[in-house]
Amino acid sequence: MSGRLDDDTRQAVERLLGMINFDDGVMIEKQLALLDEALEESEEIPDGAELLRMVQEAIDWEAGFEVEQTDSATFIDCLNQLAARLDIVLDWGVDDPEDEDFLGGTSVAELMEQAHEQLRAMGITLWHWESGAGVYAGWLARSDDEEEILAVAEQLDVEVRSGDQPF
């Protein structure tokens, strides 16, 4: 990452990308390149939260999500795409998860808990962090990587939570 990050931070970011991309080397390299570009354009070396925002931008919709806390439709769409990468079909409990009545009667937090429960049963954990006022951002990773995800988050000085613990 162009020397803009110390070695420990670089390794933490690379490991995070490895876990949320399920060790897909092509995706990891692509996202590292996007992150390198963002770091080069940055005037200052980013702190933990800002660095995680940059990572989020590099992974968005390919290995992660970022949605307004009130945007249930976008959350469902993005989680469906992330789950499909793993050959998982999520059950939102309705015939048509795009139905306006359904979307109006649920929240991203409720949907996140529902998706987390289903994914957890398949050995996957839904993670999120509060990237800004009223916004949820996050990713999926193997449940076996839980301790390492938490260690990376601690090293980056950001709070992440599993999907069953919305902010």
- Who's near 159: CB < 8 A, 6+ residues apart? 129, 130, 153
Classify residue 1: in a domain, yes or no.
no
Percent of the chain whose predicted confidence (pLDDT) is above 90? 84
Q: Chain-wide mean pLDDT for the chain?
A: 92
Mean pLDDT, rounded, for 127-138 = 86
Residues 6+ apart with CB under 8 A from 156: 9, 12, 13, 16, 48, 51, 52
- Dist. CA 80–CA 104, nearest whole Å: 19
How many domains, in total, are found in the chain?
Answer: 1
| Token representation of residue 68 | 């307004």
- Asked whether residue 115 is assigned to any structural domain, the reply reads yes
Q: Is 99 inside any structural domain?
A: yes
Does residue 167 lie within any of the structural domains? Answer: no
pLDDT at 133: 74
Angstrom distance (rounded) from CA 63 to CA 12: 17
Q: Answer yes or no: is 51 within a domain.
A: yes
Give residue 101's pLDDT.
Answer: 93
pLDDT band per the 50, 70, 90 thresholds, residue 131: confident
pTM: 0.92
Determine, yes or no, domain membership for 158.
yes
Percentage of the chain beyond pLDDT 70 is: 98
C-alpha of 100 from chain center: 26
Is residue 43 assigned to a domain? Answer: yes
Higher pLDDT, 61 or 99: 99
Q: Which domain holds residue 96?
A: 7-162
74-80: average pLDDT:
96
Q: How high is the pLDDT of residue 18?
A: 97
Comparing 60 with 125, the larger pLDDT belongs to 125
